[in-house]
Structures are given as C-alpha cells and as structure tokens.
Amino acid sequence: MYTKVKGTYDLSPEEAKKLASIERFLSQVVSLYGYEELRVPILESSELIHRSSGDSSDIVTKETYDFKDRGNRLITLRPEGTAPVIRSVIENKLYTRHLPLKLFYLGDMFRYERPQKGRFREFRQFGVECIGSSSPLMDAEVILMASTIFDALGVSNYIVRLNTLGDSLSRDNYRQALKEYFSKVKDNLSDDSKVRLEVNPLRILDSKDPRDKEFIKDAPKIGDYLSPESKEKFDSVKSYLDNMNVKYYLDERLVRGLDYYTDTIFEIELEGNDNVGQSQTICAGGRYDNLVKSLGGPDLKSVGFAFGLERLLSIVEDNADYSKKVLVQFIPIGEKPKANLIKKMQEVRLEGITSEMDYDAANLKNHFKSSSANNASFLVIQGDSELEDNTLQIKNKINDKEDYIDEDDLLDYLIRELSGGCSCGCGGHDHNHDHKCECGCGDDEHECSCHEEGHKCCCEEEK
Ligand code: ATP
Ligand code: MG
C-alpha cells in the first residue's frame, strides 16, 4: 500500500466541499473591494523565489523545495504567492493597466517544515496583492478586508497585530541597534540566531527559540528608529483603522518571515484557540514597496496579505454550515409531469440555481426523503392536475409557506425569494429586519415597516 507523502493531506468530498466553499466566499469578499483573480504557476525559477524571499529568510534557508529539472534548470515549488504574482505582473506588463492593480490568488504552496497541527509541507493560501498604491489608506483597507473576512465568518476572537518596519533608513538604523544589543549576549543565543545576527539581526525577533525569547523582550523597539516620513505614514494607517473601527494591537516585536516587507506589517491570530495549534497566525501581510522594482519592474509600491486556508478552515468549521445545499428540489408525481419538470429544472439550473430531482424515487415519500437529505430550500411539485393547469405547487422552506404559482413564473419567483425579497409581509416572505422593502414601494417616504426606524411600507396600507 502506498501512503501520502509526509506533510501532505487528502481531502474527502465533504472536506473538499468546505474548502471550495470557503475559497468561493473569500473570492467574493475581496471582489467587493475590486480584486480580480490571477493564476500563476506552481513552478518558478529558484532565483526568483530566493531573491524575493531573501537569502536569510527561514523559507529560503530551510524550507524550499528546490530541484533541477531534466533541462538542468533550477526550479522551486512556490512557497508563497507574492513573488510569482509580481513576476507575472512584470513579465506580462500588467502594470500598464489602470493602477492600482488589485489581484487575488489561490493555490498550493510548498515548504519543507516539520509537520504539525496547522503546518504542512503542501498547504493552501488565499492572498491579495494591491500593486501600485502608496496610500496608507490602502494599507488600512487591506487590513479592513482581512478583518471583514473574519467578521463575515462569525469569528470574533481574532487579534490584528500591527507594526511598522519603517523605510530603508529606519530599518538600517534599527538593524544597527539590534546588532549592538544582541552582540552583547551572542553566546547565549540559539545557533540560528548567531547566524542571523550577522546576516539579518531583525530575523532574531521572529525566533521561536526560548533562548532567544529571553533577550527579545528587552530588545530596542522600531518605534524609536522611525524616520519622520515612516512615522507619519504609520500614524495615518492607524488613524484610518480607528476611523473604520478596526481593532488592532500594536506589537513592536512583530517582524515578518520574508525579507521584502517595508513599513506596515500585520498578522491576525485567534485568541485562545487550540484548533489552530500553538499561537499560529491565520493571516499575515504588509507593505512591500521595493519588491516590484527589485525584481526588474517599475517602482510600484504595493501591499497585500495571505491567509493559510487549513488554519482558516479549522476555525470556521464549527461556525459555518457547509452541508450540501440544493436550492430547488423538483418533485414530479407521474411520468408526464416528470418530463415537464426536467425541462423546467434545466431552465432553473441555467440561471445558476442549484436544482435536483430524484430520478429513482419510487414514490412521493422517496422524493421528500431526498429533498431533506439535500437540504432543499424549495420543493417544486407537479402532478397531472397541476400539469393540466400549467401550475406548480411550491413548498417554500425558507418561510414555511405553500404557494401555487403559474409555471411560467417559476424563475421570477425563485429569483425574488432568493434575493431576500421584501420581508415586511407584503409578499408573505420571511421576516427579516436587515433589508429594505422591495415590494415596489421604492420611494423614499415609504420604507418597509420591518425597519427599525418604524417607517410604514406602502404595501402595509394595502393589507
Ligand atoms: P509561521 O510563523 O506560522 O511559520 P509564516 O510567517 O511562515 O507563518 P507566511 O509566510 O506569512 O507564514 O504565510 C501566511 C500564512 O500562511 C500564515 O499565516 C499561515 O496561516 C499560512 N502558512 C504558512 N506556512 C504554513 C504551513 N507550513 N502550513 C500551513 N499553513 C501555513
Ligand atoms: Mg513559517
């Protein structure tokens, strides 16, 4: 028997469905902010990956899957998405489009790490890159978008940890200060950090080794080394976040694992969650103002984030309902209605509404059994007499009502009901305080009575 490669995992149909559904959800959220998908390869040149991540990063020193292909090219399985996206933007001159470019990506990443809960060798990330904007408002928007994702998933106990790495000048000064500080305790540092001290002392702050942690807590803070410009930028990011009510926690020890970050950086983790494993970050990102240029492109300031999908899935599992959801179950009673409903079902499916019919059901009981297994929201039933009248009986599971409609009105009916139509009682739909009346009373004076302000819906008067 063959077994899976260490650090990889299989997804059952149920798990694959959960993943697909969360990927769809993430894409939808970021598309509200104007992001579009870019697909990039898994194989990239080693030079690109090593250069962008930084030779002193953990990823490059220990984690990349590098190999020579049969043509003797040095290839790396991508360990993250930013470098491939930027490579593609430069190579395909996507930067000639209207800026900023707002792109998202999704896919497998590879890092040779010690597998544990929430840490794999082949794992998936969802990320966004906003390329060509230096506005601190964009940093804030990217963070807002990430926190919106948590909010929309019903996850409330997340913490946004925020810091700035400043510009090159700030970082040079800070690096110098760190070098002086850690040099004094060099002999007590971990072996990795002894090397980091020479190559990139900032990296020491990211160490998880207890020997380093003891000294990290009293190390100099970046805040004291920021150039006036960097300080001003960071203040703007913070005030925009305050303005948008995004809660964050300033963490002056925060650094990122990749070398290309500048100015704003952030990580989002959960408070007191064991599902993800020990203090693991679910989303991480920041600004990278020099990367595009250093990879041979124009001087485009950029900012982005990446979510680890395994870690994200592990925290939403309990909150979200990802069970199979067929929206419409067609139930024919007899052969003639069956032939008719099959055509109807095709029409409905082509409108993007998931529909099913149990072709093997021997009786009505079997049909109902299938519709509950499918979690159907609407049961569309037709027997010989309805067929003769061109009508349909609908059991609407959303508001628990029964409707009889004209066959030709089916699509309109479903679209109206699924768009969360008016719930003020005008159409007898489900009551919901969140949306406005759509019964045609569109004019401003007449708002739905279900609104908290207590406005009257015009349809109310008709009742
Ligand atoms: P960590 O500190 O946990 O190693 P990182 O700083 O290396 O994370 P990033 O490079 O910022 O991670 O990647 C962004 C996100 O991708 C992480 O916050 C995490 O959710 C996810 N991620 C990173 N490495 C792995 C992995 N090996 N397995 C699963 N998810 C991962
Ligand atoms: Mg890592």
Q: Are residues 299 and 413 in the same domain?
A: no
What is the mean predicted confidence (pLDDT) over 234-255?
Answer: 93
Is the minimum distance from the CB of 122 to ligand 1 under 6 angstroms?
A: no
Ligand 1 atom, smallest distance to 121 CA = 27
Ligand 1 atom, smallest distance to 305 CA = 14
What is the mean predicted confidence (pLDDT) over 378-386?
Answer: 97
What is the mean predicted confidence (pLDDT) over 273-300?
Answer: 85
Q: How confident is the model at residue 337 (pLDDT cuts 50, 70, 90)?
A: very high
Is the minimum distance from the CB of 337 to ligand 1 under 6 angstroms?
A: no
Is 204 contained in some domain?
Answer: no
Is 413 contained in some domain?
Answer: yes
Is residue 185 exposed (0-12), middle (13-18) or buried (19+ Cβ within 10 Å)? middle
Is 341 contained in some domain?
Answer: yes
Cα–ligand 1 centroid distance for 228 (angstroms): 32
Cα–ligand 1 centroid distance for 223 (angstroms): 26
What is the mean predicted confidence (pLDDT) over 30-37?
Answer: 91
Residue 250 — φ and ψ, nearest 5°? -75, 125
409 versus 29: the higher-pLDDT residue is 409
Is the minimum distance from the CB of 281 to ligand 1 under 6 angstroms?
A: yes
For 257-268, how does the pLDDT look when each residue is reduced to its tens digit (9 = 90+)? 777 889 999 999
Lowest mean per-residue pLDDT among 37-46, 107-116, 152-161 = 152-161
Q: Are residues 244 and 291 in the same domain?
A: yes
Is 205 contained in some domain?
Answer: no
State the pLDDT at residue 445: 41
pTM, entire model = 0.74
Token pair, residue 302, equals 């950029």
How high does pLDDT run on average in the chain?
87
Cα–ligand 2 centroid distance for 257 (angstroms): 7
What is the mean predicted confidence (pLDDT) over 416-427?
Answer: 58
State the pLDDT at residue 437: 47
Ligand 1 atom, smallest distance to 113 CA = 27
The ligand placed nearest to the CA atom of residue 207 is: 1
State the pLDDT at residue 440: 46
Token pair, residue 390, equals 């061109």
State the pLDDT at residue 423: 41
Q: How confident is the model at residue 319 (pLDDT cuts 50, 70, 90)?
A: very low
Instruction: For ligand 1, atom 26, name the residue with the nearest CA.
Output: 119
In 62-183, alpha helices (H)? 82-91, 136-152, 168-183
Percent of the chain with pLDDT over 70: 86
Cα–ligand 2 centroid distance for 382 (angstroms): 57
Cα–ligand 2 centroid distance for 146 (angstroms): 19
Number of domains present in the structure of the chain = 3
Residue at a domain's end among 299, 316, 333: 316
State the pLDDT at residue 429: 37
Residue 176 — φ and ψ, nearest 5°? -60, -45
Give the strand pairing for 355-357 and 328-332: parallel
**Beta-carbon neighbour count of residue 351 at 10 Å?**
12
Cα–ligand 1 centroid distance for 316 (angstroms): 18
Q: Are residues 303 and 364 in the same domain?
A: no
Q: Are residues 292 and 388 in the same domain?
A: no
Residue at a domain's end among 259, 291, 316: 316
Distances in Å between the Cα of 366 and the Cα atoms of 232, 339, 369 are 67, 18, 5
Q: Are residues 233 and 284 in the same domain?
A: yes
Ligand 1 atom, smallest distance to 257 CA = 6
Query: Is the backbone peptide bond immediately before 136 cis, with ω within 30 degrees of 0?
Result: no
What is the mean predicted confidence (pLDDT) over 15-26?
Answer: 91
Q: Is it the case that residue 419 has pLDDT exceeding 90?
A: no
Is 203 contained in some domain?
Answer: no
Residue at a domain's end among 316, 345, 368: 316
Lowest mean per-residue pLDDT among 46-55, 202-211, 334-343, 418-427 = 418-427
Q: Are residues 329 and 408 in the same domain?
A: yes
State the pLDDT at residue 345: 92
Domain of residue 339, CATH code: 3.40.50.800
Q: How confident is the model at residue 43 (pLDDT cuts 50, 70, 90)?
A: very high
Instruction: For ligand 1, atom 25, name the residue with the nearest CA.
Output: 119
Cα–ligand 1 centroid distance for 310 (angstroms): 10
Q: Are residues 38 and 148 in the same domain?
A: yes
Q: Is it the case that residue 275 has pLDDT exceeding 70?
A: no
Q: Are residues 378 and 252 in the same domain?
A: no
State the angle between helix axes of 13-31 and 136-152 in degrees (0 to 180), rounded to the nearest 10: 140
Q: Are residues 412 and 428 in the same domain?
A: no
Measure CA of the first residue to CA of the last residue in the chain; give whole Å.
70
Instruction: For ligand 1, atom 7, name the residue with the nearest CA.
Output: 257
Q: How confident is the model at residue 271 (pLDDT cuts 50, 70, 90)?
A: confident
What is the mean predicted confidence (pLDDT) over 244-273?
Answer: 88
Ligand 1 atom, smallest distance to 127 CA = 14
350 versus 95: the higher-pLDDT residue is 95
What is the mean predicted confidence (pLDDT) over 64-80?
Answer: 97
Is the minimum distance from the CB of 82 to ligand 1 under 6 angstroms?
A: no
Q: Which of 105, 111, 125 to mutate to test the pocket of ligand 1 (most atoms within 8 A of CB)?
A: 125
Q: Is it the case that residue 414 has pLDDT exceeding 60?
A: yes
Instruction: For ligand 1, atom 10, name the residue with the nearest CA.
Output: 257
Cα–ligand 2 centroid distance for 258 (angstroms): 9
Q: Is it the case that residue 187 has pLDDT exceeding 60?
A: yes
* Structural domain boundaries, residue 332: 324-419
How far apart, in whole angstroms, are the C-alpha atoms of residue 82 and residue 289?
A: 13
Q: Say which DSSP state 49 is in.
A: H
451 versus 346: the higher-pLDDT residue is 346
Q: Are residues 236 and 259 in the same domain?
A: yes
Is 412 contained in some domain?
Answer: yes
Domain of residue 49, CATH code: 3.30.930.10
How far apart, in whole angstroms, are the C-alpha atoms of residue 420 and residue 435?
A: 8
What is the mean predicted confidence (pLDDT) over 233-243?
Answer: 95
> String of b and e for 47-66 (b: at least 16 CB within 10 Å)?
ebbbbbbbebbbbbbebbbe
Is 197 contained in some domain?
Answer: no
Q: Is it the case that residue 277 has pLDDT exceeding 90?
A: no
Q: Are residues 381 and 439 in the same domain?
A: no
Is 219 contained in some domain?
Answer: no
Give the CA radius of gyration of the chain.
28
Instruction: For ligand 1, atom 11, name the residue with the nearest CA.
Output: 284
State the pLDDT at residue 434: 40
Instruction: For ligand 1, atom 29, name the residue with the nearest CA.
Output: 119
For 424-459, how does the pLDDT look when each residue is reduced to its tens digit (9 = 90+)? 444 433 333 343 444 444 443 444 444 434 434 444
Q: Are residues 401 and 429 in the same domain?
A: no
